[in-house]
Structures are given as C-alpha cells and as structure tokens.
C-alpha cells in the first residue's frame, strides 16, 4: 500500500512499560511507531538532587518498589495519551507536546506525570527521525549540527550522590586540551583510572567505591581535599592541569543550605552568602576551575547575580532554573548565572526544553546538556547536545553502562560527522577568563 509523505509520518502506535534505571528503581519507557515503520524509543531518567520547581515525576506510592512504582504513569501513556495522539504527524513536535500539556492541564504535569509525558515526547522525535532515516541530532539540528561537546565528567562524588562528608555534590574534570571528542574521552578515562590508583593508595580499597554517577566516593572531609586529588590524578596521568584538563564543580548548594538561619554549612564552617562567595573566589584562584554549578541556594537570584559578576568563570543554573522558561527569563533579567543546565526531564517535554535552550543561547548564556543521577541506557541527550551545538555535556564518569552509553553514542556521532565534527575545547567555556 502506498502513502503520501504525511501519512508515512503519522503515529501508528504508542506503547509504554516500566523498566529499571541505574539505581534499580522503575521508570517509564515508551515506544512509538509511524505508519512507515519509523521506530522511536525513549526512557526517562530520574534525579536525586531535585529542584523544588521541577515538573512532577509521577510515582505510585504503596508497597511495591517502596512507593516508587510507575504503573500509573505507564497507564496514563497507554490509556489516555496514546488514543489522543494516534494518527498525528510525528514531525509536528510542538503540536504533539502541546496536546499532552493540554490533556494534563496542571502547571507541573502532576495529572499525567512528567515522566509519562516526556517518554512519549522523546520517543516521537526518535520515530520521526527514523522515518526520515536520519540520526536524531541531524533531524533536530540539521546540517549545522556538528559541534561535539566537551564532557564534564563527575569523577569524585559528594553530597546526595555519595556517603562521605563532602558537601559539594560533584567534582568534575573537563578535557579541554583535546583536539577531538574521542581524544577527550580517552584523556578522561586515563585520568579516571589514575584517580582510582591515587585514591586506593592514599585511602585504601574502600576509597574506590563509586557513587550514583560512576565517580568515586572516597572518605574525604573537605572541598580542597577532593580538588587536590583531581590535580594529582591529572598529573599522574601525564597531563597538565588547566591546559590539558580543567576542573569544574557542581555545588548543589541548596542541599547544604540552612534556610532558617540563612547559612551554608560546608567544610566544618557556617558561612553567610558573602563568605560562601569568598570561598568560591579563593577556589577559582587556587585551582583551574572553569565552571561552577548551583553555587548558591535555588531561590537566591540576587546572590547568583553577585557571584556571576564576581567570578571569572562559568556559573551554571540548575535548581534555580530547572529548565523552565519563566524562571530562566527571571534569571536573564537579573543577570543571574551565565549558563543553563538543560535537563529535559526537569520540564517534561522536548519542545519546552528546546525553547529554554534557545532562550538561553539568544541571551548569551551557555547551555550544558545534562543527565540525571538515576540514568538509563537511553542516549537522547548525546544527540541533543550535538543538535544544539552546545559544546558541553554532563553525563557522569567514564564508567557504568548508563554513563558510557552516552559517551559511546557521541563516538558514533563523531564518526558519522567525519571531518565536519568540531571539538571546541576550552573555547566552549566562553565565560571563563584565565
């Protein structure tokens, strides 16, 4: 039977199920098929350190999976969303996402669940791309999508990602001296294994236990101890800190902020906002830190503005923006941060995530595409990073299958692009001043 082009892209079926994420908790997977047999699949990740204003991840409650079941979300896809979307043109992403938002009708997607909605949203994009016989990054970004991202690799875990005394949640390396993404991945892997040997030698075998994102969770007590370990690992791997491999941190400061007393409790100290900013200033002076994420409490737009003016580095807003256009607009007006952390599951549809990214880019903000701590083998974010030419991605250590899946997909994308692939290196961090 012959179809015209529009029929070929029509959604023929939508099917959701529960699968496990990297923490052993259930999450939603959805498959979408077009009439022309274009196939799309997406699995939704889950965060541990979540912003207050994130879209709602619908969970069942009760005894099964300790309340974390997603059968309601799966049912919402199969019985409510699917019947309404069948026959729609899979290329009309905004219309499809808009339809689901209308069906949900709540500000935070609490009726159908952001996990239900996002699984369909991403799977539809994959199905449309497959119908065109295009990789997702090229379907979304066209022929101008060729910038490979600098990987920000979380190789020492603290905060909610670990069981140690470190308050800073993530200590990351960025292989800025590489010429290609594949070289950057090799450098990152070498530094990771160098760090493993260093930690085992200094702290013992227990120090090389790993946290949620594949980074090590050593028995460290303070921030400089972790940063010094990274510097040693970089040097031991044969690279120069700052030139070949830079550092970054994700403070997730809301997690160690005492709201009642307006104090940050870190490294055995109780610090005011001003003293916290002074601490960051000293760290940036002492170490080659190119990026700091969520340095202050998620509601402190004024403080974010001050620290953005003060520090000569990239300041990423995650919990403060939660990939939400309205909160990002407020940040732009106040000049709070100079980079957006893009997490599609914070907002719940591909359309809204891309809108936030475009708003950030058009206002001079950098964009860092990010995973979550509860991840899966889904590689959509690898494609989004290249599609938007963001030049930066955060997807964990070069270890654990759910993390390496993203890196391995980027290797395939780089190979697909061939000589057109561009690796920006330190240039990706346009707000960083040496």
Q: What is the dihedral of CA 384, 387, 390, 395, to 10 degrees?
A: 30
Whether residue 370 is annotated as binding a ligand: the answer is yes
Q: Which of the 8 DSSP states describes residue 166?
A: -
Whether residue 371 is annotated as binding a ligand: the answer is yes
Q: What CA–CA distances, in Å, run from 158 to 19, 58, 218? A: 27, 27, 9
Whether residue 293 is annotated as binding a ligand: the answer is yes
- The DSSP bridge pattern shows strands 289-293 and 314-317 to be parallel
Output the CA torsion sign for 136, 212, 171, 261: positive
8 A C-beta contact, residue 26 and residue 69:
yes
Whether residue 102 is annotated as binding a ligand: the answer is no
- CB-based contacts of 121, cutoff 8 Å, min separation 6: 42, 93, 96, 97, 100, 348, 349, 350, 351
Whether residue 297 is annotated as binding a ligand: the answer is no
Whether residue 383 is annotated as binding a ligand: the answer is no
Q: How far apart are the first and last CA of the chain?
A: 63
Indicate which residue of 343, 352, 406, 409 is catalytic.
343
Residue 213 designated active-site: yes
Tracing tokens 């299958």 back to the chain, one arrives at 401
8 A C-beta contact, residue 370 and residue 381:
yes
Indicate which residue of 29, 31, 190, 213 is catalytic.
213
Whether residue 169 is annotated as binding a ligand: the answer is yes
How is residue 53 written in tokens?
């204003």
Q: Which of the 8 DSSP states describes residue 241?
A: B
Whether residue 373 is annotated as binding a ligand: the answer is yes
User: From the CB of residue 414, how many other CB atoms can be counted at a distance below 10 Å?
Assistant: 20
Residue 433 designated active-site: no
The annotation places the binding site for (2R)-2-phosphoglycerate at 169, 343, 372-373, 394
The annotation places the binding site for substrate at 161, 170, 293, 318, 370-373, 394
Which residues carry out catalysis? Answer: 213, 343
The annotation places the binding site at 161, 169-170, 250, 293, 318, 343, 370-373, 394
The annotation places the binding site for Mg(2+) at 250, 293, 318
């Amino acid at each position: 039977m012959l179809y015209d082009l529009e029929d070929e892209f029509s959604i023929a079926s939508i099917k959701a199920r529960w699968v496990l994420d990297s923490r052993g908790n259930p999450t939603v997977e959805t498959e979408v098929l077009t009439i022309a047999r274009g196939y799309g699949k997406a699995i939704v990740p889950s965060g541990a350190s979540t912003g207050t204003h994130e879209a709602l991840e619908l969970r069942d409650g009760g005894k099964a999976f300790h309340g974390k079941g997603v059968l309601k979300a799966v049912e919402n896809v199969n019985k409510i969303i699917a019947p309404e979307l069948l026959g729609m043109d899979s290329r009309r992403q905004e219309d499809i996402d808009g339809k689901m938002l209308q069906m949900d009708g709540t500000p935070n997607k609490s009726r159908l669940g952001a996990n239900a909605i996002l699984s369909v949203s991403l799977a539809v994009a994959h199905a449309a791309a497959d119908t065109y016989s295009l990789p997702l990054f090229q379907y979304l970004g066209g022929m101008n999508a060729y910038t490979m991202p600098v990987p920000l690799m979380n190789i020492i875990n603290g905060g909610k990602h670990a069981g140690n005394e470190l308050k800073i949640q993530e200590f990351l390396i960025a292989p800025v001296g590489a010429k290609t993404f594949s070289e950057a991945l090799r450098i990152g892997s070498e530094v990771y294994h160098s760090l493993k040997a260093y930690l085992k030698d200094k702290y013992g075998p227990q120090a090389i236990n790993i946290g949620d994102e594949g980074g090590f969770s050593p028995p460290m007590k303070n921030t400089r101890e972790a940063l010094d370990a990274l510097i040693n690992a970089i040097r031991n791997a044969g690279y120069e800190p700052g030139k070949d491999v830079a550092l970054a941190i994700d403070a997730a400061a809301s997690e160690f902020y005492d709201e009642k007393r307006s104090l940050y409790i870190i490294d055995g100290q109780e610090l005011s906002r001003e003293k916290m900013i002074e601490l960051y200033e000293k760290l940036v002076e002492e170490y080659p830190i190119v990026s700091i994420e969520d340095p202050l409490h998620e509601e402190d737009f004024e403080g974010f503005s001050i620290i953005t003016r003060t520090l000569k580095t990239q300041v990423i807003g995650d919990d403060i923006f939660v990939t939400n256009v309205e909160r990002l607009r407020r940040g732009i007006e106040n000049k709070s941060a100079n980079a957006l952390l893009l997490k599609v599951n914070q907002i719940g549809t591909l359309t809204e995530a891309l809108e936030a990214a475009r708003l950030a880019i058009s206002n001079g903000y950098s964009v860092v595409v990010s995973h979550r701590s509860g991840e899966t083998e889904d590689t959509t974010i690898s494609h989004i990073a290249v599609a938007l030419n963001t030049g930066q991605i955060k997807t964990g250590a070069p270890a654990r299958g759910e993390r390496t899946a993203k890196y391995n997909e980027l290797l395939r994308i780089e190979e697909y692009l061939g000589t057109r692939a561009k690796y920006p290196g330190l240039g990706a961090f346009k707000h960083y001043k040496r």
